[in-house]
Structures are given as C-alpha cells and as structure tokens.
Amino acid sequence: MNFFSKIFPTLLLTLSLVGCKTTQWGHSTSTHNYVINSQVEEDSSIIRYYLPYKQKMEIEMNRVIAFAEDNLYRTRSEAESSAGNFFVDALLEIGKTLDPDVQFSIATKFGIRADIKKGDVTIGNIYELMPFENYITILEIKGSEMANLLQFMANTGGQPIAGMTMKIKDGKPVDVFIQGQPFDINKNYKLVTYDYLANGGDRILGLDNPISRKDSGILVRNGLIDYLKKLTSEGKTINTKLDGRVQIIK
C-alpha cells in the first residue's frame, strides 16, 4: 500500500467533517520579528545535506584554466581598460569561430563586473567577470545603424571594442577604422556581442534593427572558459595591454 492509499481515507473523512459546518475565514494582523544573527545555532542536518555539493562547487570554481601576465582592470570612466580589452578580444575570437565574417565585437563597461589579478585565473574568476546569464549573439547591421552605435560610444566616453579603433572628439566619433578599413556608412557590418545588448540593454543604440541576428545559445562565460582553456593548451597566457583602440582627443 502506497502513501496515497494510506492517507486517502483520513483525508476524505476530514473533508467531509469540514463540509458539515460553516467556517468563517479571516486574517491576523499580528506580526513577530525573528532576529537572524551569529547567535542562531547551525542546523547540522542541513549542513550535512549541502556540504558535498558545496565542496564539489568549490573544487570546480578554484580550478585553474589560465595565467594572466598582469593585472586586468575594468573602468567606468576611462575610454579603455585592460579587462575590457581582454573581454572583447576573447569575444571576437569566439565570434569568428561561429561566423568567420564577424568583423568586430562590442561590450559595455557596466557589463564587466570584476578585475582579474595577475597570476592563476580560475573558473570562479570568469564567473565573477561575467556573472550574468547572457548568450553570445551575432548581428549584421546597416552602416546607418553602425553610425548610431558609434555615436553611442562617443556619448558614453568609449566602450570595450575589438576589431576596430576610434577616436572621440567634441563628443563625436572620428577616425573610425573597422578591420583596418575606414568606416563607410554605405556598407553593412557584422559584429559579435551578447543578447542583453542586442535586446537594447545599457541603453545601447544601433543594435535594435539588425539585418540579421543569430543567437548562439552559448553563455558568454562558458565561451570565455573554453577560450582560455584553448589558449592554455597552446602554451599561451593572457597578456592584454592598453593599445589606444579608443581615444578621447581634444
């Protein structure tokens, strides 16, 4: 006899008794505050339950997958950052494996959430860098939309980009080169980013009306982890520098 077979007669009797009387429903307005602090004793049964999962997760998060030759810093005020350059350089390489016609990559300063310290780089470091459930997305846009994207970057004092260079003067984009060629408003351009920005996140401009869009289904951080594993397997390290790809001039 299973659980439901045992409990069903009792449940049926209870329901019949409840149905024989009139019940008045109401609610209580009294409250009680419970203080949760260091004086609350740990529940050893709960700890025993989750501890194996916690230990397994810590082992995975502490697994070293790469080595950084220097500290990689993010910024929300400067035109360029080493952490930003690392992120979009990797994103561009990932994008090219998905579509060899991808010309450049773009992220935003607010999307990069952690620095990477010099030395061993772990899976946990990449989760800190990109903690969001964002997926890699490839877009093809018109030159007129590209102009809007460039103006967005100028308005916001530069954003992380790879595969292109630009200068900002008097709040306008100037000297823009994509794959070494001057920007041409009459051409179409293919870029790699992530779905949050492709959906208009961070108030970005120029990406909401693409000619085509391909959502890869690959989480950005998973792509970064695979990229770093490949880098390490080739005997390479992270050696990203500031290179003047975005400059504010007077």
Please choose, from the candidates 97, 179, 89, the residue with its C-alpha nearest in 3D space to the C-alpha of residue 138.
97
CA 62 to mean position of chain CA atoms: 19
Q: pLDDT grade, residue 29 (50/70/90)?
A: low
pLDDT score of 6: 45
Q: pLDDT grade, residue 2 (50/70/90)?
A: very low
pLDDT score of 25: 53
Higher pLDDT, 20 or 177: 177
Q: Give mean pLDDT, residues 54-64.
A: 85
Instruction: Please report, rounded to a whole number, the percentage of residues in the chain having pLDDT higher than 90.
Output: 75
Q: What rounded mean pLDDT belongs to the chain?
A: 88
Residue 12: both structure tokens together: 């049926």
Whether 20 shows a pLDDT value over 50: the answer reads no
Higher pLDDT, 1 or 157: 157
Edge-first strand listing for the sheet containing 212-219: 161-162, 104-106, 189-194, 135-141, 212-219
CATH (residue range 65-249)? 3.90.780.10
Per residue in 74-99, pLDDT (tens digit) is 998 999 999 999 999 999 999 999 99
pLDDT score of 28: 58
**DSSP letters for 166-197:** EEEETTEEEEEEETTEE--TTS-EEEEEEHHH
H-assigned helices in the chain: 3-19, 44-61, 82-98, 123-129, 143-155, 195-198, 220-233
Whether 18 shows a pLDDT value over 50: the answer reads no
Question: Measured between alpha carbons, how far is 195 from 216 in angstroms, rounded to an integer?
Answer: 9
Per residue in 193-246, pLDDT (tens digit) is 999 999 999 999 999 999 999 999 999 999 999 999 999 999 999 999 999 999
pLDDT score of 71: 97
pLDDT score of 113: 94
pLDDT score of 42: 74
pTM reported for the whole predicted model: 0.79
Q: Taking the domains of the chain in order of start, what are their residue ranges?
A: 65-249
Q: pLDDT grade, residue 41 (50/70/90)?
A: confident
